[in-house]
Chain A
């Protein structure tokens, strides 16, 4: 069953994993250009999958109080405020008496907030509620020098002050990418992580031993250990619902069809058409992310249409599965072994002289 691209490159993962006549590979196409940030996906996911709350933390990251994906957040809606327009949108604040943007200062606080939540993969968040605010507020104090600086003139009145005219508010629902080449699965020593017949990647909680190798292996920082039980958790693409011929809870709940579920081939075509439409209507910044089968993970089962660089959304620009370099590493190791063998042999050969 091991094919040429088993470790990297284009591949249909279910047959590669040994399924005979599996159903077409399933996935998500998340079109962030129509996301309205309602967070219905986050709630529907938690309701269906019984994911616990991840605490009451006001992060100050615009309307995002989830922070990032983790053991207790399998969908995460990011909110990004930027002083630039979307496509042909007219400048919302043109001719208004605005001053400079507060976003630079806010961004510093955001960073502090994220650090303070301890909401990084593997660290967990529960029981750490109050310090977030305090740490973030402390940070705000040090980072937002402009906030305490009253000016002699009205905001925006001075000619040397850069007035805000543009604003766009990006929203995007992030999720496990269900990589074609899933590093989490490859490094799992117990076989707890497995490839389903739908080509998705799922953790079997009953045999996860909590070693955490998957957490460090994931190039997207998605899979995460839950502090309370030590096991790894992430999106299952609602494996149970798929088995019952139902779409995943988040896609079902999404009111604007920002989250689209279906056969991956079909979704990729749909995404190409949407991208073309957006480019045609002047939204040149639109781009696809995770759709390319030749990228570092062999393409994602859950891919996105973004309106800015992936980093803006907290996504890695060039994710690479850790197994991608495996053949090369083995080759080098093999070469080294061969050289060594040759050396040894030649030593003996030389010794006979």
Chain B
């Protein structure tokens, strides 16, 4: 956190000054570790084993916050008798189809609901339908209640297992367990903070799930000082998820319609709200129709399903990595890059560059002439002869962009807080904002299409595209866009103040339902800057948080089932019997006048079906999910799988890696072998990549800036003294790092901060690389992301960029075509030459190689 989020780290330091204990778990000793009370080194990619060990410790020692767990989580809910856990299937859950490598999740359901949604592959989910009469055993004794299922699932995650898998000594591990449990409960809360590298694993979503289970067990969700706080990787990455730059989502987490499943508006809406479901998704029709009204205005009518057919339809995976491979295969013709530098910043840099070299056109908008605009003339593939500048067919258009101080708008940060940002200075020359670019590009396209009678052009021509502009460059008004996002009454354009005012009858416009209220009363609420000295600690008048300016989600959980604060120390929201409403410094994340004793009438659905003591109002059963019966592609509970590339056999199950991980079996995308496959010893070391404080992601905003470039002036690799001795690496000399994708070179920093670990009774070395370098800028160097393969988490389609296997050699790498031969030789020795791909389903295959199999159970 101190490395990547130094400004946020001030609050950790403040907490420490007040006596907080800071624990840092990381493969390497960073600037955060330097300030922590306890540093716990662990093997990259072993986090579920570590967290599972803590879950087991909490359950075995009855350290959970029992009243909270029984009342607010699904611990008491009975799971279907058709569910079979991984212990009985060698690492697979019930319902697995080895052909498609997907799960049919119908057996994962609660008892009595097995007939419902059985397709676990729907990705972004809003929690499936759950009838109100699901069976619960609040004594938690039923062998199939979630609590007991969870306890059995994690029983094997003992401190000894954690030591074997993660390399963490038991004393260290127990120190973490005890500290976490002791600082949770009625009087205290613990916050789990992670940076987004945590998600960059083939089991990344399950890492976060494991953290969520632990926080729910310890009563740390919906209460002040608790929660799970992801530190996002850029300014407003949260904003670009809420109003997404993702292929499968529309604003406000509405799913992008699918060409088969969502032929009509009704099908699309029903798929979101699941008729009969509890909770606020039951109003999804209002959110969807208001969005369509925002897009197509008067053209969107009840008769034409509010122009639902204008929306593009998903036909499959259109994620960024699939697109890149499609570019290599010539299926994609053009590409826009707005503030993105995939030639350096995305996994498998070579695939990125080869893809971009096979387009008709490429538009790059950035502050500097970055690698993604120049790869065709100076990229690594030019040296190897794979790209010939004279023959590269891609026409590249570079458009200079305005920086963040040269444009206005909002940033949304990790607390879901929108903060308005003023323009400080005018951009120079031809530099323009993204808003200007998109608006005027739209204008020009619409002019070209004007008068067209083609049906396919209606989606563009019918768009509401009437934003007022100002200034010499006709800059569109960002505030007008915010007003549209907020939403208004169609009749008189009066701004809405809450998403509960959205209607599904075409009478309201709302560009992103969760943002409704940011322009309440016609005031830009995101621009509020009331000093903290003039308000309480919740600071409700600083900026605006979605939804409804709530600062703490699910804050009903901060009071006990009867509506009383759990403790005076952690008082936040409480039921005021006299006023008949929820009181406290924050906006209640609950119906304001719904009493704790409210019980849903039989047959109720939607918001009405939420009981007065069900805080998790977006879940179909109103409970926090320790066990996820739907919504996840790779299983209802986090399970330790080895990374796609690992030197070790999975200690717990025959199934080596995440069986549902997304692998693109493209000739350019080879994965290093892992056990039980032979030849994993060709790549004996583990590498992990991350950021330095001094640079920003691909370096596009830092390597080109003198004052930042000089602070970290060269690409380097950090190794332990032990590995330096083993591989004869010299401090400040050169080393090259090799995977089945490529070999890169870096300067060597030998440091005591890197240590070998003892895993599975042998010593393993980890090396660490910053990923900021590319061939451009003031300080140039090989790019760490060139080492990565494209192996993705199946839920979020995020790449496994935080762990892989490699070889490390002293000296510089070969150059020119010799580099290709060098890498090819490694591939041959590893048995992955000629586009061979390693098998993914390994359950039941233990003993296939005669070493490293003692952990499997068959």
Q: Which of A311-353 contact B (CB under 8 A)?
A: none
Enumerate chain B residues within 8 angstroms of A58, measured Cβ to Cβ.
713-714, 716, 732, 747
Enumerate chain B residues within 8 angstroms of A54, measured Cβ to Cβ.
710
Enumerate chain B residues within 8 angstroms of A118, measured Cβ to Cβ.
none
Say if the beta carbon of A34 comes within 8 Å of chain B: yes
Asked whether A90 lies within 8 Å of B33 as measured between CB atoms, the reply is no
Say if the beta carbon of A173 comes within 8 Å of chain B: no
Say if the beta carbon of A257 comes within 8 Å of chain B: yes
The proximity string for B residues 13-55 relative to A, scoring 1 for CB distances below 8 Å and 0 otherwise, is 1000100000000000101111111110100000000000000
Candidates B10, B33, B693; contact of A39 at CB < 8 Å: B693
Asked whether B712 lies within 8 Å of A65 as measured between CB atoms, the reply is yes
Distance, CA A98 to CA B39, complexed state (A): 16
Say if the beta carbon of B758 comes within 8 Å of chain A: yes
Asked whether A92 lies within 8 Å of B39 as measured between CB atoms, the reply is yes
A interface, size bucket: 35 or more
Distance, CA A39 to CA B433, complexed state (A): 30
Kindly report which residue of chain A lies nearest to residue B759, judged by CB atoms.
Answer: A97
Say if the beta carbon of B855 comes within 8 Å of chain A: no
Say if the beta carbon of B749 comes within 8 Å of chain A: yes
Dominant secondary structure at the A interface: loop
Enumerate chain B residues within 8 angstroms of A106, measured Cβ to Cβ.
731, 750-751
Distance, CA A273 to CA B359, complexed state (A): 64
The proximity string for B residues 740-759 relative to A, scoring 1 for CB distances below 8 Å and 0 otherwise, is 00000001011111011110
Say if the beta carbon of A42 comes within 8 Å of chain B: yes
**Interface 9-residue window, one of B109-117, B186-194, B557-565, B718-726:** B718-726
Distance, CA A57 to CA B7, complexed state (A): 26
The proximity string for B residues 655-672 relative to A, scoring 1 for CB distances below 8 Å and 0 otherwise, is 000000000000000000
Distance, CA A11 to CA B708, complexed state (A): 39
Q: Evaluate whether A256 and B725 lie within 8 angstroms (CB atoms) in the complex, with A94-B172, A147-B750, A167-B752 already known.
A: no
Say if the beta carbon of B677 comes within 8 Å of chain A: no
Asked whether A93 lies within 8 Å of B41 as measured between CB atoms, the reply is yes
Enumerate chain A residues within 8 angstroms of B169, measured Cβ to Cβ.
94-96
Say if the beta carbon of B818 comes within 8 Å of chain A: no
Candidates B17, B693, B713; contact of A56 at CB < 8 Å: B713
Q: How many A-B residue pairs have CB under 8 A?
A: 197
Say if the beta carbon of A148 comes within 8 Å of chain B: yes
**Interface 9-residue window, one of A16-24, A136-144, A227-235, A243-251:** A136-144
Enumerate chain B residues within 8 angstroms of A252, measured Cβ to Cβ.
none
Say if the beta carbon of A288 comes within 8 Å of chain B: no
Asked whether B755 lies within 8 Å of A96 as measured between CB atoms, the reply is yes
Q: Which of A275-330 contact B (CB under 8 A)?
A: none
Say if the beta carbon of B839 comes within 8 Å of chain A: no
Q: Evaluate whether A90 and B38 lie within 8 angstroms (CB atoms) in the complex, with A57-B713, A147-B725 already known.
A: yes
Candidates A98, A168, A256; contact of B13 at CB < 8 Å: A256
Enumerate chain B residues within 8 angstroms of A101, measured Cβ to Cβ.
721, 752
Enumerate chain B residues within 8 angstroms of A65, measured Cβ to Cβ.
710-713
Kindly report which residue of chain A lies nearest to residue B693, judged by CB atoms.
Answer: A38
Asked whether B732 lies within 8 Å of A109 as measured between CB atoms, the reply is yes
Least CB distance from A289 to B in Å reads 20
Distance, CA A87 to CA B34, complexed state (A): 12
Asked whether A256 lies within 8 Å of B9 as measured between CB atoms, the reply is yes
Asked whether B730 lies within 8 Å of A144 as measured between CB atoms, the reply is yes
- How many residues from B make CB contacts under 8 Å with A? 61
The proximity string for A residues 59-82 relative to B, scoring 1 for CB distances below 8 Å and 0 otherwise, is 010110110000000000000010
Asked whether A81 lies within 8 Å of B37 as measured between CB atoms, the reply is no
Asked whether A94 lies within 8 Å of B171 as measured between CB atoms, the reply is yes
Distance, CA A100 to CA B38, complexed state (A): 22
Enumerate chain A residues within 8 angstroms of B10, measured Cβ to Cβ.
255-257
Candidates B733, B751, B757; contact of A102 at CB < 8 Å: B751
Least CB distance from A266 to B in Å reads 18
Asked whether B6 lies within 8 Å of A102 as measured between CB atoms, the reply is no
Kindly report which residue of chain B lies nearest to residue A104, judged by CB atoms.
Answer: B721
Least CB distance from B759 to A in Å reads 10
Enumerate chain A residues within 8 angstroms of B17, measured Cβ to Cβ.
34
Kindly report which residue of chain A lies nearest to residue B723, judged by CB atoms.
Answer: A155
Asked whether B6 lies within 8 Å of A169 as measured between CB atoms, the reply is no
Least CB distance from B373 to A in Å reads 23
Say if the beta carbon of B472 comes within 8 Å of chain A: no
Tell me which of B37, B711, B724 has the highest count of chain A C-beta atoms within 10 A of its own C-beta.
B711
Asked whether A97 lies within 8 Å of B751 as measured between CB atoms, the reply is no
The proximity string for B residues 757-788 relative to A, scoring 1 for CB distances below 8 Å and 0 otherwise, is 11000010000000000000011000000000
Say if the beta carbon of B2 comes within 8 Å of chain A: yes
Distance, CA A293 to CA B726, complexed state (A): 52
Candidates B6, B709, B733; contact of A255 at CB < 8 Å: B6
Given contacts A89-B37, A144-B731, 7 further A-B contacts (CB under 8 A): A38-B31, A39-B711, A43-B711, A56-B713, A65-B712, A99-B722, A140-B730
Chain B interface (Cβ < 8 Å from any Cβ of A)? 2, 6-7, 9-10, 13, 17, 29, 31-39, 41, 167, 169, 171-172, 175, 692-694, 706-714, 716, 720-722, 724-726, 728-733, 747, 749-753, 755-758, 763, 778-779
Instruction: Give the top 9 A-B pairs by smallest Cβ distance, nearest first.
Output: A102-B721, A155-B722, A56-B713, A95-B169, A169-B34, A38-B6, A92-B39, A58-B714, A36-B2
- What are 7 A-B pairs at a CB distance below 8 A? A66-B711, A97-B722, A98-B720, A101-B752, A144-B731, A147-B725, A147-B750
